[in-house]
Amino acid sequence: MFDLDPNSDFYKAMRFQRPQYIPVVMGLGPAVWRKYREGLEDLVLRHPVVFGPHERGSTDFDAINPVLCPNYEEGEHLDPWGYVWTNIRAGCDAYVSRHPLPRRKMVWDFKPPPPGAGIPHGFLFLRLTYLRGYEEAMLDFAEGPPELQRLIDVIVDYTANELEHMLAKAPEMVGFADDLGTQRALPISPALWRRYIKPAYARLFAMCRAAGAAVLLHSDGHIVPIIADLIECGVDVLNVQVRANGLDNLVAHCKGKVCLWPEIEGQALAFATPEEIDAYVREVVAKLGAPEGGLWLLADCTPDVPLENIEAVCRAFEKYRGYFREDTTTR
């Protein structure tokens, strides 16, 4: 859930109201802090434009926020929905190793958790794979048994109830996250996605719009074939990976139609030179941005990204966030 100041560049960019600067966000997970420690804190202090104010010594380099990163501690973690997360490296994310519904007939007796589990990453499509197991979920989509729609209905009804409580607090934006793509394609056909997943998205996003809340959706992977559907469902800000979708595809399918929040992935940043990073950020801004807005920027820095490359992203963000200002010299 996000509370956006209507006078902020985030809000103005989302609404195509000519922001002063392109909003920028740097993702630094717990494992990055654990690896670079004081060196990363020094970097953060050098770039207040990107990170905001920071007090030296205020960061516990080994801390893991249980609310933001509930499965980032090493070991096994039982999810409220009954699946088990396994973490093999503290500070990084976990994977689902045990699924509570390995057989279809089990779906009919399945009950969701008590209210209060929220709407975490993987709220629908991924949750189907977490509950059933990936291969079983793919067979469900291929064969279309009644258990598939039954499980979707259970998940969506629960999510709608959680969302109703969130909307009662009158947020200006609600964020959803559900990785819908693989590196190169959707794991199910666009037709199946439209049959089973799109109606659920449309229902949830309509609740937000009716309450006056904007909708932010994060999805990793290649989702080009359904971007128009997501916009139709009511997405205001779309957070996607650049390399998985292709920069020119994002221009064709998103520019001017939705506020795009492209993620410059750690996979790219880990092996680039600082000069290549500068050129890449400039290209993303030049192609996806406009004076009217419609662009936020994000870099997701994993532990594999060298500290000098994290700094290169900061410098590029500072350099090109004002790309469309009349007084800019970065074009």
CA atoms of 207 and 202, how far apart (whole Å) = 9
Is pLDDT at 281 greater than 90 in this prediction?
Answer: yes
Tokens of 69: 């990163």
Main-chain phi, psi angles of 159, to 5 degrees: -65, -40
pLDDT in tens, 300-330: 999 999 999 999 999 999 999 999 987 666 6
Structure confidence by residue, pLDDT tens digits, 286-297: 999 999 999 999
Rounded Cα distance, 322 and 176, in Å: 28
pLDDT digits (tens, 9 = 90+) for 33-72: 999 999 999 999 999 999 999 999 999 999 999 988 999 9
Q: What is the pTM of this model?
A: 0.95
Could you give the 3-state DSSP secondary structure of residue 19? Answer: coil
pLDDT value of position 237: 98
Q: List pLDDT tens digits, range 83-116.
A: 999 999 999 999 999 999 999 999 999 999 999 9
Would you say residue 135 has pLDDT above 90?
A: yes
Q: What average pLDDT does this structure show over 165-188? A: 96
CATH number 3.30.530.20 is the correct assignment for the domain at 9-320: no
DSSP reduced 3-state for 44? helix
Q: Where residue 1 falls among pLDDT bands split at 50, 70, 90?
A: very low
**pLDDT exceeds cutoff 70 at 271:** yes
* 136 to 161, 183, 201, 221: CA distances (angstroms): 27, 20, 22, 20
Report how far residue 79's alpha carbon sits from residue 247's, in angstroms, rounded to the nearest whole number: 36
Q: What is the pLDDT of residues 49-59, one digit of tens each?
A: 999 999 999 99
Q: What pLDDT score was predicted for residue 152?
A: 98
Task: Domain ranges for the chain, please list them.
Answer: 9-320
